[in-house]
Amino acid sequence: DGGITQSPKYLFRKEGQNVTLSCEQNLNHDAMYWYRQDPGQGLRLIYYSQIVNDFQKGDIAEGYSVSREKKESFPLTVTSAQKNPTAFYLCASSAINTGELFFGEGSRLTVL
């Protein structure tokens, strides 16, 4: 089945640790995105990439890093510099021609 796979679904982290969230898509989409969702705040864009080996900061990139070495993969690292990392993280992808966005099932990160 075509889709977007995020892992892990749940992740617990101690303060001061970096964690990496995985996002893989087999939809042959060029563009990939990372969003953060907090209660009462809607979705906020962290990073996006429209082509391999290139990515841009979104609205809340501080404390996060990404890479895009393969078309199918767009991992997100939540670094220790992110002051409030507990949130629900959503990865998405879209085809350049339609712009329709498709989402993965999300990863919930909790900092202990």
Which residues are at the interface with another protein (CB under 8 A)? 4, 6, 40-43, 45, 48, 58, 88, 90, 92, 98-106, 108
Q: Provide the token pair at 55.
A: 């990515």
Smallest CA-to-CA distance from 93 within 10, 24, 15, 18 is with: 24
Closest separation between CB of residue 60 and another protein, Å?
12
Closest separation between CB of residue 71 and another protein, Å?
20
Specify the residue, 18 or 110, whose C-beta has the smaller distance to another protein.
Answer: 110
Cα end-to-end distance, the chain, whole Å: 35
Burial class of 53 by CB neighbour count within 10 A (0 to 12, 13 to 18, 19+): exposed
Specify the residue, 6 or 82, whose C-beta has the smaller distance to another protein.
Answer: 6
Specify the residue, 4 or 109, whose C-beta has the smaller distance to another protein.
Answer: 4
